[in-house]
Each structure stands twice: as structure tokens, then as C-alpha cells.
Amino acid sequence: MLCAMLCDLPAMATSDKALGMIAEAEHAHLDGVSAVTGTTIYAGDAIDTENPGVLRLRLASGQLYFSGASAATLSEHEGVAAAKLVRGTASFSIPDATQFELETPAGILRGSGRDFIRGQVTINNPHELIVWALHGDLILDNDGELNSIAEGKTFRIVIEDESANPAGDDSPQQKRRKRRKLLFFLIFGGALVGVSALIWTRTSESQYTPN
């Protein structure tokens, strides 16, 4: 019995691999309790912030920042750290774009290559979000439909409800494969710069700085 328990220890350690740690927390929660700086974070953890409130996570490959009134869940698949943004605003600063993904109501957001990326996503409501590619190009994967967001561009993305089949004969497979219908509206000017300046100041501790 003792030998069997010892053999199981490596598997248990692998399943509990840490994603990183909390680098800053003010009026924020981790799995329903107050978040504390230095706490280790794992896949499956749920985070949220009050309004006002902030939470900054240090991942092995970068940083994640959540402003007030935000909520997300953390995950990992095939060695890639990921987060699902439920509400609010998430900002990311990632040296290697292949090591991070952000799930949004409009699809999976990731970098277009291996380069350094900085970006921000704000969920205005269940059918609208704003995506800002501050440094590096981003890709929004809408169930296989890839949409590029070039560096320096900001888009308001509207998610339109798909109309039901008039005949009412959609099969479960057809419903599962149905993509979201997305509308992209380019936001001109520096409207987001002032709002987001604090975020980039607080995440500037990283040694990676865009040119």
C-alpha cells in the first residue's frame, strides 16, 4: 500500500502544477476569500475584484492585471496558461505569445506569433466587448474563424444572436458547430489611453518593454 501511494505522488504533483502567484491584490478575492500577495495560483482558481479593486497575477511567462469589478477563471492546457474573462477588464503583458490565451465571449484571444504582446479586453455587456492590441498583433479565434487585430488598433466587437432555423430542424451537431456572428467597429483616437495608463504603469515592472 505504501509503495502504491508513493508511486501516485508524481502524478499528483503534476496535476497541481502552479501557474504563478499573486503579485498585487487590493479588494480582490481568490476562490471566494481575500486574495493575498504571494499566494500561489493554480488552474481552476476563480478570481474577482471589487469596485474599486485591483488584482495582478505574475505568470511564468508574463503578467495579468484585472481592474475593478472584474471576474475570471484560470486554466491550463498543453502547457499554455489561460484565463476566461467573465466580466470587467483584463490586461496582459506576455513575453512569449504562445504561452497565453484569453477566452472572451467573442472567442479565444492570443498572439499571432511568438513575440512579446500587450493587450486589453473589456466586457461591456454579454454582447459587446472592446479589444485593444497595444503591442504586437492579436488573433481572435471564433471557433476556427480567425480575426486579426493589428498592433495599435482598438475594436468594439458586437456579438449578434444567430437567428434560429425557421424550420426548427437544427440538429445538435449543427447547433454545436454554429459560430457567433461578430461585428467589428474600429475605434479611432486615443480614447482608451488615458483610461488604461494606470494599468501599463503598474505592470511595467516586467523587464520586457516594447520599442
pLDDT of residue 204: 46
Distance CA 80, CA 144 (A): 18
Which of helix, strand or coil describes residue 37?
coil
Distance CA 80, CA 86 (A): 19
Task: Round the average pLDDT of the chain to a whole number and report it.
Answer: 82
Which helix (H) or strand (E) segment holds residue 24: the answer is strand 18-30
Q: For the chain, list the domains and their CATH numbers.
A: 16-202 (2.60.120.1440)
Question: Which range among 29-38, 71-80, 174-183, 195-204 shows the weakest confidence by mean pLDDT?
Answer: 195-204
- 104-162 tens-digit pLDDT: 999 999 999 889 999 999 999 999 999 999 999 999 999 999 999 999 999 999 999 76
Query: Is there a contact between 137 and 111 (Cβ–Cβ < 8 Å)?
Result: yes
